[in-house]
Amino acid sequence: MRRTSSLTGLELSILLYLHGDFERSDEEIMAECRGIEQESVRHAVRGLAGREFIIRTKEEEFLLRPDCWLITYAGRQALRQWVSAAAPVRRSSRTRVPA
């Protein structure tokens, strides 16, 4: 799959977070993105508005439209795989490290 260079790391992180629930409010996203300046998150969310993303898999192609985040289950899985492949490796504060 092609990587999209027009997305920032923060936007990719937000997309990755949103892939399972496309009806989150800005406040819910900001609450989940602790440690990131709230205005930065709000700006990134606004930056995603009005864009279209074409997500291609071997079998299908999905168009993720800015006015319709709710897509099929298969489309959500494709989005998760696409974002995971394109997103920079990052540590999660929720990850447990064995002692």
Q: According to the model, what pLDDT value does residue 85 have? A: 64
Q: According to the model, what pLDDT value does residue 2 have? A: 45
Residue 25 lies in a domain: yes
Tokens, residue 85: 């492949």
Place of tokens 């079998």: 59
pTM: 0.28
Low-confidence residues in the chain, pLDDT < 70: 1-99
State how many domains the chain has. Answer: 1
Tokens, residue 58: 């071997």
Q: Residue 10's closest CA among 30, 57, 64?
A: 30
Dihedral of CA 85/1/6/69: which sign? negative
Q: According to the model, what pLDDT value does residue 5 have? A: 39
Q: According to the model, what pLDDT value does residue 13 have? A: 57
Residue 4 lies in a domain: no
Residue 98 lies in a domain: no
Domain that holds residue 66: 9-86
Q: According to the model, what pLDDT value does residue 3 have? A: 42
